[in-house]
Amino acid sequence: MADIIKTATRDAYGKALVELGDKNNKVVVLDADLAAATKTGMFKKAHPEKFFDCGIAEGNMMGVAAGLAASGYTVFASTFAMFAAGRAYEQVRNSIAYPHLNVKIGATHAGISVGEDGASHQCCEDIALMRAIPGMTIINPADDIETRAAVLAAADYEGPVYMRFGRLAVPRIFDESYKFEWGKAVVLNEGTDVTICATGLMVGEAIEAKKILAEQGVSAEIINVHTIKPLDAETILASAAKTGAIVTAEEHNIIGGLGSAVAEAVCEGGKPVPVVRLGVNDVFGKSGPAVELLHIYGLDAQNIVEKAKQAISMK
């Protein structure tokens, strides 16, 4: 059996930026004194003339990004999710989204898997914040292959994009033939008993949960929701009509994230089914090893299995 390849999506982000810089003179990258952690340092080394460190001043960085975008550049502004969505929220809303500028926000170190940095840096509210901003697109890739494809697609998209990346290395799900479709959810495995909609690092856990469920005679359909806004409601509703129950899995507060988006889509679709949300249960994180924290907060395959059984029992 081949070894499982594990890569942090932040690493894939840095490599994709270098690739963009090699072929697009209009791409510039900004960072807020975290280039080593966000991996934009790769771009800095390859294209120093197109890289700008704005220091520990995230709001100012978003303002600079807006100005560069208004001047015709495609701007990637990077920092931790806590600072990109939290500290700089006003500038993202008013200076970038309101005029619908071509700024791509590379938010790394999202969620509980930041690990030892603890609650102050474990941003589990960023998707909710960005979802509420009109015109903002939200991408949360599942592995390194999808990250590269999403970053390249974001560069060609006109308008603001919030891209969510993680610190923890995650298993590779896709191969080099993978094609990223803007705003289109990906049905990874078909099933008949329950639909599992997962995003980010929880996609890998959902795949493992499907295997466990199969051993127990339960057929699960797995959907990778890489674009949370706009949500591919059509694909999700079609799956829900077939299975009759949904579980959502995300490394984010259960309020305002993927679970909320899916529940809204199902209710508005006219044929509601049970929706069981798995995520951080509206609490702050704590300091500790990332993998252990994911288990503590129930962000793992076994908990998806339990939630799937719960959803099925509610039909």
**Cα–Cα dist 261/169, whole Å:** 26
Task: Return the structure tokens found at 169.
Answer: 């290395």
Strands 137-139 and 227-229: antiparallel
Q: What is the DSSP code (8-state) at residue 232?
A: -
Return the amino acid letter for 224.
N
Strands 194-198 and 246-253: parallel
Strands 103-108 and 161-164: parallel
Q: How far apart are the first and last CA of the chain?
A: 39
Return the amino acid letter for 173.
I
DSSP 246-296: EEEEEEEESSSSHHHHHHHHHHHTTS---EEEEEE-S-----S-HHHHHHH
**Cα–Cα dist 41/18, whole Å:** 10
Calculated CA dihedral for residues 99, 101, 106, 109, nearest 10 degrees: 0
252 in Cβ contact with 258 (< 8 Å): yes
Instruction: Based on the residue annotation, tell me whether 58 is a catalytic residue of this protein.
Output: yes
Task: Return the structure tokens found at 30.
Answer: 């900004």
121 in Cβ contact with 109 (< 8 Å): yes
129 in Cβ contact with 85 (< 8 Å): yes
**Cα–Cα dist 210/250, whole Å:** 16
**Annotated catalytic residue: which of 58, 125, 146, 251?**
58
Catalytic residues: 58
